[in-house]
């Protein structure tokens, strides 16, 4: 059985940083029940989270090592992780699925931080959470979302190296596009071919692969692939979140099938110039809003509302911050973000483009192999 993905120093650094923030904020403990946070602080990584049956808990005290409160089935893997203590129960349990153990673990603490804010969820039954609150009358639950997100936004060199590796795998896979995609192929076949290419090139998993194809643009960017066949004049887009040791890349690429329309080439060029404008100014001191506005300036108002223009990236496909007008987060060295401008091409048609970068002292560093400014044509 493999231990955590990084040397112990990585987890010690993470713990030290969060405990310092907890001290400043006057929090006695943090309580986590979600995959990313538990993995971030302990290195506990398993696909077993796919099963919704069992809850998993972690308590991070203001001083000392984290305490895991988990189903017995995970005990061996968790003991190899960065925790001071592993408390287990036999789960599923019809009457008490870890709740008594959890109340006991949290009772010593009066100010308990947890994730309650934007981009978070509660991965345990709501009834059990209500019972937890009722079972801790002496404790106050405090929103620690900002504190935890602020820390996770800035990646260590070890994290950046992992993300860079999966970005390189995805870039290499996209470079094989002329061999993978062709006119007459169904979108489902194209997706399958690309997934296999990603795995062959070293991706561990492909939890996210969406895309679309259509004459001069595509209808949406979240659908599963259809059985429609690629036709000459289609623009094909694939957007992939492949993973390596639990870290994501998140990039997309466009390809014209057979030939590219004037409009599609123009839009691709505009999106490329938009990401270039953001790339040029992406450095410490600038804000997420600055990047958003740099891209919006190139795209112009007729680009329409196609959501934000990028986001944080790491253990999750999308993480804070957001490249939107309301996000004033200052860029810091070590932040890994996506540049993801999009625009309306025509009625019900859009095009998007996405690169991954890391903020450095000085110019940002591209983690993806930069897309060409000219829309590539396959089989032309």
Label the pairing between strands 140-143 and 111-114.
parallel
Torsions phi, psi of 111, nearest 5?
Answer: -115, 105
Q: Which of residues 121-150 bind a copy of itself (CB under 8 A)?
A: 121-127, 129-130, 143, 145
Burial of 299 (0-12, 13-18, 19+ CB in 10 A): buried
User: Under DSSP, is residue 251 helix (H, G, I), strand (E, B) or coil?
Assistant: strand
As a whole number of angstroms, the distance between CA 289 and CA 309 comes to 10
Taking the alpha carbons of 330, 331, 335, 341 in that order, is the dihedral positive or negative? Answer: positive
116 binds a copy of itself (CB under 8 A): yes
- Judged by CB under 8 A, the residue of 43, 61, 212, 310 near a copy of itself is 212
Residue span 296-335 as binding mask against a copy of itself, x where in contact by CB under 8 A, dash where not = ---------xxxx--x----xxxx--x-x-xx--------
Q: Which is nearer to a copy of itself, 22 or 323 (CB)?
A: 323
Q: Which is nearer to a copy of itself, 142 or 366 (CB)?
A: 142
Least distance (Å) between residue 355 CB and a copy of itself: 17
Question: Would you say 236 and 219 are in contact if contact means Cβ atoms under 8 Å apart?
Answer: no
Q: Which is nearer to a copy of itself, 157 or 328 (CB)?
A: 328
As a whole number of angstroms, the distance between CA 202 and CA 204 comes to 6
Residue span 215-254 as binding mask against a copy of itself, x where in contact by CB under 8 A, dash where not = ----xxxxxxxxx-------------x---xx--------
- Judged by CB under 8 A, the residue of 65, 101, 107, 120 near a copy of itself is 120
As a whole number of angstroms, the distance between CA 213 and CA 257 comes to 9
Stretch that binds a copy of itself, among 24-32, 87-95, 103-111, 295-303 (CB under 8 A): 87-95
Give the list of residues 6+ apart from residue 369 with CB closer than 8 angstroms, or none: 168, 171, 172, 174, 175
Q: Which of residues 349-378 bind a copy of itself (CB under 8 A)?
A: none
Residue span 16-35 as binding mask against a copy of itself, x where in contact by CB under 8 A, dash where not = --------------------
* Closest-CA residue to 278 (of 297, 264, 265, 263): 297
Stretch that binds a copy of itself, among 154-162, 212-220, 251-259, 365-373 (CB under 8 A): 212-220
Distance of CA 53 to the CA centre of its chain: 24
Give the list of residues 6+ apart from residue 236 with CB closer than 8 angstroms, or none: 181, 187, 190, 211, 212, 213, 230, 254, 255, 256, 257, 378
Least distance (Å) between residue 157 CB and a copy of itself: 22
Q: Which is nearer to a copy of itself, 19 or 91 (CB)?
A: 91
Least distance (Å) between residue 39 CB and a copy of itself: 11
Q: Which of residues 50-79 bind a copy of itself (CB under 8 A)?
A: 50-53, 71-74, 76-77
């Amino acid at each position: 059985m493999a231990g955590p993905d990084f040397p112990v120093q990585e987890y010690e650094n993470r713990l030290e940083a969060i405990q310092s923030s907890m001290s400043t904020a006057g929090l006695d403990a943090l309580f986590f029940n979600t995959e990313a946070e538990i993995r971030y602080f302990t290195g506990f990584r398993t696909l077993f989270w796919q099963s919704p049956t069992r809850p998993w808990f972690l308590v991070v005290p203001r001083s000392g090592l984290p305490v895991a409160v988990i189903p017995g089935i995970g005990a061996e893997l968790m003991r190899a992780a960065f925790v001071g203590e592993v408390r287990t129960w036999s789960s599923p349990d019809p009457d008490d699925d870890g709740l008594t153990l959890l109340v006991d673990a949290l009772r010593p603490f009066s100010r308990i931080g947890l994730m309650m804010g934007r981009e978070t969820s509660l991965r345990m039954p709501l009834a059990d959470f209500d019972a937890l609150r009722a079972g801790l009358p002496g404790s106050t639950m405090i929103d620690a979302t900002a504190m935890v997100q602020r820390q996770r936004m800035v990646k260590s060199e070890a994290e950046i190296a992992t993300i860079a590796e999966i970005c390189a795998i995805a870039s290499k896979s996209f470079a094989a596009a002329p061999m993978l995609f062709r006119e007459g192929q169904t979108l489902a076949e194209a997706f399958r071919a690309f997934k296999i290419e990603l795995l062959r090139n070293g991706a561990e998993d492909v939890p996210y692969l969406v895309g679309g194809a259509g004459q001069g643009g595509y209808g949406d960017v979240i659908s599963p692939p259809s059985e429609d066949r690629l036709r000459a004049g289609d623009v094909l887009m694939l957007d992939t979140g492949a993973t390596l040791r639990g870290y994501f890349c998140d990039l997309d690429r466009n390809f014209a099938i057979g030939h590219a329309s004037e409009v599609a080439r123009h839009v691709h060029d505009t999106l490329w110039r938009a990401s270039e404008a953001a790339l040029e100014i992406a450095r410490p001191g600038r804000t997420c809003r600055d990047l958003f506005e740099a891209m919006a300036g190139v795209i112009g108002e007729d680009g329409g509302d196609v959501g934000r223009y990028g986001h944080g990236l790491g253990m999750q496909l999308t993480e804070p911050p957001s490249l939107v007008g309301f996000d004033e987060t200052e860029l810091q060295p070590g932040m890994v973000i996506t540049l993801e401008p999009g625009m309306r091409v025509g009625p019900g048609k859009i095009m998007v483009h996405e690169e991954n970068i890391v903020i450095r002292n000085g110019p940002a560093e591209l983690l993806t192999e930069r897309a060409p400014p000219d829309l590539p044509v396959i089989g032309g």
